[in-house]
């Protein structure tokens, strides 16, 4: 990942954690990072960033000053007290952030999953800005073997429709791969020219990595998927394996 990358994280299983982990690593490598969302984010997660600029106050000077001081800044909209979430930024502001900070990595949480490890996107999502250079569809490995229902999956009926798997069936690598590679699933709204790298998170929770590796193998049958990362985003060594053709 380069210093001026524009990354969209979609799906479920740890997008916010992955976003801030990547931001921290960019800073540790001597770069800078802007974190944001084009949908909504839990307001409590503001504390994960060393600096925060509200979208309403975002100017070139304010964002640049925060980056100069902290190397990482979160830009999001106002907080809704009723549900504890903060609004995302507009595509217009996102474009301005890119123009203001051309050499800085921008990391964007582009949809929501209601804390579920697996999902399919609704009609209105994901919101992926055209400036995006890398799209990362995520899934949590803890979903393997769980039933296809609302307890374990966000929008299970859409997962069922995209994968062809009946509601209530155990979730397999085949089901996950079908959804993540589907043009209306993990590849939905990917801008022309953007790379797609899938991330299977929480692999450390598996007694055996076989389901994650099988999922990666199936994902790589789709030419649009550049590579697949098996990860433990919260771990000391977040990247466990990188699978490619």
Share of the chain above pLDDT 90, in %: 90
CATH of the domain at 101: 3.40.50
Identify which has the larger pLDDT, 97 or 86: 97
Which secondary structure element, helix H or strand E, spans residue 74, and what is its range? strand 72-76
User: Band of the pLDDT at 81, cuts 50, 70, 90?
Assistant: confident
Q: Would you say residue 122 lies in a domain?
A: yes
| Maximal C-alpha separation, the chain | 53
What pLDDT, on the 0 to 100 scale, is given for residue 169?
Answer: 98
Cα–Cα distance, 237 to 224 (Å, whole number): 27
- 58 is in which domain, residue-wise? 6-243
Domain count, the chain: 1
What pLDDT, on the 0 to 100 scale, is given for residue 39?
Answer: 92
Question: C-alpha angle 133/135/141, rounded to 5°?
Answer: 155
Answer whether residue 15 shows pLDDT above 90.
yes
Cα–Cα distance, 120 to 177 (Å, whole number): 12
Answer whether residue 2 shows pLDDT above 80.
no
Average pLDDT of every residue of the chain: 96
Q: Would you say residue 107 lies in a domain?
A: yes
Answer whether residue 44 shows pLDDT above 90.
no
Burial 3-16 (b: 16+ CB within 10 A, else e): eebbbbbbbbbbbb
Q: Would you say residue 1 lies in a domain?
A: no
The pTM is what? 0.96
What pLDDT, on the 0 to 100 scale, is given for residue 117?
Answer: 98
Per mean pLDDT, which range of 33-37, 110-114, 141-145 is the poorest?
110-114
Q: Where are the beta strands (DSSP E) in 84-194?
A: 85-87, 105-109, 134-140
């Amino acid at each position: 990942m380069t210093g001026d990358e524009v990354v969209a994280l979609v799906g479920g299983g740890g997008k916010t954690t992955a976003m801030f982990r990547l931001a921290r690593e960019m800073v540790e490598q001597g770069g800078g990072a802007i974190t944001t969302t084009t949908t909504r984010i839990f307001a409590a997660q503001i504390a994960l960033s060393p600096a925060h600029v509200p979208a309403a106050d975002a100017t070139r000077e304010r964002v640049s000053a925060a980056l100069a001081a902290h190397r990482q800044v979160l830009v999001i909209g106002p907080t809704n007290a009723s549900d504890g979430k903060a609004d995302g930024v507009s595509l217009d502001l996102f474009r301005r952030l890119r123009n203001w900070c051309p050499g800085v990595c921008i990391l964007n949480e582009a949809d929501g999953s209601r804390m579920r490890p697996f999902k399919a996107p609704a009609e209105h999502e994901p919101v992926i800005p055209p400036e995006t250079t890398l799209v990362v569809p995520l899934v949590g490995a803890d979903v393997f073997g769980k039933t296809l229902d609302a307890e374990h999956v966000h929008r299970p009926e859409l997962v069922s429709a995209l994968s062809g798997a009946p509601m209530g069936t155990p979730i397999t690598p085949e089901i996950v791969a079908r959804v993540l590679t589907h043009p209306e699933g993990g590849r939905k709204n990917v801008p022309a020219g953007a790379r797609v790298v899938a991330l299977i998170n929480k692999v450390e929770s598996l007694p055996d990595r076989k389901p994650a590796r099988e999922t990666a193998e199936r994902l790589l049958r789709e030419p649009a998927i550049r590579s697949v990362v098996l990860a433990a985003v919260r771990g000391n060594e977040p990247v466990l394996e990188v699978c490619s053709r």
